[in-house]
Amino acid sequence: MPRATMLARWLVFGAAGAMAIFCASSPGHAQRRGRASAVRVAVGETAGSEGDAQQAAALAGAISAALDHAPDVRLTSARRAQLVVRGSVVRLERTRVAEGFEVRCEVSLIVADARGGSVRAMLRGRAGARGGQDVARLRANALQAAVRGALRPLGAHGRALARGH
């Protein structure tokens, strides 16, 4: 085989290999691959402290928002889910402080198999927000922070939980 033909083949194969490595390591490819292999999670039943329906709805919204931003987790319907997150607001307290109000929130979440309901994780999150007179905003911020804190392990270990390990 002529030397020029061999060199041309090496260059073509080398360029093709470099393109494959470049494309596979691009952020877009990682996102597409990550979403395809992401754990499918749905939001299940939620409850507020002392049966408060508004707290339950706010908790469901906070769980949805946190799952939507979690790495390797895809928020989906209960029919397509591998895991379901259920939870309740354990404590939501408001106290007056010098600069306004302080709100403390504690949530309890359960991660279970969507099929069969086997409990995979029991999670707790606590958070607080302080300042100003807008108690509704402080409650929402404290609730969202408590949910994000509780769900932090799901982003890191979601695949293992879905497999049951």
Quick one: 89 and 19 in the same domain? no
Quick one: 27 and 44 in the same domain? no
At 115-157, the pLDDT tens digits run 999 999 999 999 999 988 899 999 999 999 999 999 998 877 7
Quick one: 4 and 19 in the same domain? yes
Quick one: 71 and 141 in the same domain? yes
| Domains in the chain, number | 2
Quick one: 12 and 65 in the same domain? no
Which residue ranges of the chain lie beneath pLDDT 70? 1-36, 164-165
What single-letter amino acid sits at 35? R
Quick one: 53 and 109 in the same domain? yes
User: Which pTM was predicted?
Assistant: 0.75
Task: Tell me which residue range forms the domain holding 3.
Answer: 1-37
pLDDT of residue 63: 97
CA angle 54, 136, 47 (to 5 degrees): 25
For residue 64, the domain's CATH number is 3.40.50.10610
pLDDT of residue 29: 44
Quick one: 99 and 122 in the same domain? yes
pLDDT of residue 9: 55
pLDDT of residue 16: 47
pLDDT of residue 132: 83
**Which residues lie closer than 8 Å to 143 by C-beta, 6 or more apart?**
55, 58, 59, 62, 89, 92, 105, 107, 127
